[in-house]
Amino acid sequence: MLTSKKTAKIYGFSALTLYISCLVLLILDHNDILKGINTLTLPLSRFLFECCSIAFISCAIWYSLFQNGKANIKETWNKNKFVTFALFFCFVAESMKLFPVIETFALGAFFLTHIFFILECFKIRKFKPFDLYILAIFIVISIAFYLSMMNKLNSNDNIGGGGIIGLLYKIAIPLYICLLGISCWRAILLYNSTLSVPLLIGVLIFYISDLIVVSGLTADIPELSYDTVVWVTYLPAIFFVSITNVDFLKELKSNW
Residues 235 and 78: their CA atoms lie apart, in Å, by 24
pLDDT tens profile 74-96: 888 888 999 999 999 999 999 99
pLDDT tens profile 46-62: 788 889 999 999 999 99
Asked which of 11-15, 16-20, 221-225 is least confident by mean pLDDT, the reply is 221-225
pLDDT tens profile 233-246: 899 999 999 998 88
In the predicted model, what is the mean pLDDT of the chain? 83
Please say whether the beta carbons of 43 and 29 come within 8 A.
Answer: yes
pTM, entire model: 0.87
In this prediction, residue 89 carries a pLDDT of 96
